[in-house]
Amino acid sequence: MPRSGPKPIPTRLHQLRGSFNATRHGRDRAGEPEAEGELGAAAPEWMSPGQQESWAYALAHAPQGILRAIDRGVLAIWVEAEDRHRTAVQQQARLDAGSSLPLMTRGKDGQPIASPYLRIIRQAAETMLRAAGELGFSPASRPRLAPGRAEEPASESPWTRLKLIHGRQDAS
């Protein structure tokens, strides 16, 4: 029977956030796979120089402590889509330079049609966004990766301020 409700959050993310509770999160997690090894900085050799630059940029700016060696494929998908997106945007800009119909081109019959680069741009952007969500690259996915909030100093705690307002001193 399929599991209902939201996807479970990996234990590693709970630990990074500071929200891990061994009683609550340790129960059903005994068989949870743990990815081994950090993702190396070297880009795959088959990547173009532009893709290798994107790989290095992504690793330098990725959330720390998340990417593992097994994530290499997902990152490669993001890098390739980012490269394809950049190339299509540059080609579209060349077409639009001096054009009276930006984002359009002429079909075989001479009628204006939407540029084929627009579909490439859209598909690459969709691929990037999907991979980015998995990797923690998007603003919407980063809060899932955020470490737990640091404890407030006792003197700054709202409970301490409330006690001071009402003249109660802590016995501890």
Q: Determine the average pLDDT of the residues in 133-159.
A: 61
List, in order, residues 6 or more apart from 103 with CB less than 8 Å away: 92, 96, 114, 115, 118
The residue behind tokens 């060696």 is: 69
Distance of alpha carbon 120 from alpha carbon 42, whole angstroms: 28
- Strand segments (E) across the chain: 104-106, 112-114
> Among residues 80, 64, 55, which one has the least CA distance to residue 130?
80
Average pLDDT for 75-93: 96
Pick from 95, 138, 137, 97: nearest CA to 118: 95
pLDDT at 150: 40
Residue 47: per-residue pLDDT: 96
CB neighbours of 12 closer than 8 A, spacing ≥ 6? 34, 66
pLDDT at 107 exceeding the cut of 90: no
% residues pLDDT > 70 (the chain):
67
- CA contacts within 13 A on the Cβ side of 156: 4
Q: Which band of pLDDT confidence, cut at 50, 70 and 90, is reported for residue 50?
A: very high
Residue 86 near residue 128 (C-beta atoms within 8 A): no
d(C-alpha 134, C-alpha 62), whole Å? 12
